[in-house]
Amino acid sequence: MDYITLNDGNKIPAIGFGVFLIPNDGPTYDAVLEALKAGYRHIDTAAAYFNEEDVGKAVRDSGIPREEIFVTSKLWLQDHGYEAAKKGIARSLRKLGLDYIDLYLVHQPYGDVAGAWRAMEEAKAEGKIRSIGVSNMSPALWNKFVPAFTTKPAVNQVEFNPLFQQKEIRSLMAQTDTKLEAWYPLGHGNADLLSAPVITGLAGKYGKNPGQIILRFEVQEGVITLPKSTNPDIFDFTLTEDEMNEIRSLDTGKGSHDPDAPGVEEMLRNAFVITD
């Protein structure tokens, strides 16, 4: 497993196992245990995934020392604001059943993000959180919030794959040495991506499948990726710079989610309520 050093000095595994849309009360527990057995050491959950309990139980039951497992969770919109965020952080810690969270993110960057960030900074200072970051921040949202942050985000988790390479936000993030973490790293099964001639050609050359070529590209780009596969098998080969450039040329600049689109914030706010 490769590791990436964050701007606060902490190290994060380059590949993580995401549990979005996996149910709690068993399925997530089983999936996380299987991922840990397969060699994963980075598990990505969120309050809004409603499966923090299963993640924490699997981490505790795995037999792997806690310090060897990197756990990410995220603060939901309803808990933005200083006091609300303190409660949200406490809820995540309680549901996970862990003494600390390795990385905690602002899941959706709307409302009183500044107040939430202050609470996260305090939790970091108290040792309840090791690293803090953001998620789904477009360039506009980044420029709205991040310049006022005392602690700069260690991570921005956004949609990223060869068809949507996020060049503008990556340029802004480079100024604070903030690492990009990818959701939809395989384009959510986009057939145009998985069947692109450059991808399939490289798959044949290296004896890999198209998904493994894409994940290898992302890791070499310095991107933290969250595939669903329990066996990514991408650390035994290296793409050449010419091959990297061929994949970079696939960028369309367009993704499936626009955080700046009208109605997105309202839709997310009305999606559900997290209870204690």
Distance between CA atoms of 147 and 81, rounded to whole angstroms?
18
Count Cβ atoms below 10 Å from residue 112 Cβ, excluding itself. Answer: 16
Distance between CA atoms of 61 and 33, rounded to whole angstroms?
8
Q: How many residues does the chain have?
A: 276
Is 110 annotated in the active site? no
Q: CA neighbours within 13 Å on the CB side: how many for 33?
A: 12
Spatial contact of 85 and 119, defined as CB atoms under 8 Å apart: yes
Residue 133 DSSP one-character state? E
Count Cβ atoms below 10 Å from residue 223 Cβ, excluding itself. Answer: 22
The catalytic position among 49, 104, 110, 184 is 49
Residue 246's alpha-carbon distances to 58, 76, 250, 263, in angstroms, are 40, 38, 7, 36
Distance between CA atoms of 130 and 132, rounded to whole angstroms?
7
Residue partners of 116: CB distance under 8 A and separation at least 6? 75, 79, 80, 81, 82, 84, 85, 88, 106
* Residues with catalytic roles: 49
